[in-house]
Amino acid sequence: MADGTLFLAIAYVAMIGIIGGWTWKLLARVGELSERLTAAEATLNDGAESTEEE
C-alpha cells in the first residue's frame, strides 16, 4: 500500500514540475514574442513617419 502511495506522490510531484517548467518556458517565449512584435511595430511606424514627411 505504501509503495503505491509513494509512487503516486512522486508521479504527482513530477507532473507538477513538468507542467511548471512548460509554463515557465511558454511565458518566456510569449515575452520574447511580445518584444519582437514591439520592435517590428516601432520599425514600421518609423518607416511610415519618414514616408509621410517626404
List the grid coordinates of 28: 518566456
Q: How would DSSP label each residue in 22-50?
A: HHHHHHHHHHHHHHHHHHHHHHHHHHHHH
Rounded Cα distance between 1 and 18, Å, is 26
Walk along the chain (54 residues) and give the pLDDT tens digit of each residue. 678 999 999 999 999 999 999 999 999 999 999 999 999 999 888 876 666 655
Question: Which DSSP category does 53 fall into?
Answer: H
Rounded Cα distance between 46 and 26, Å, is 30
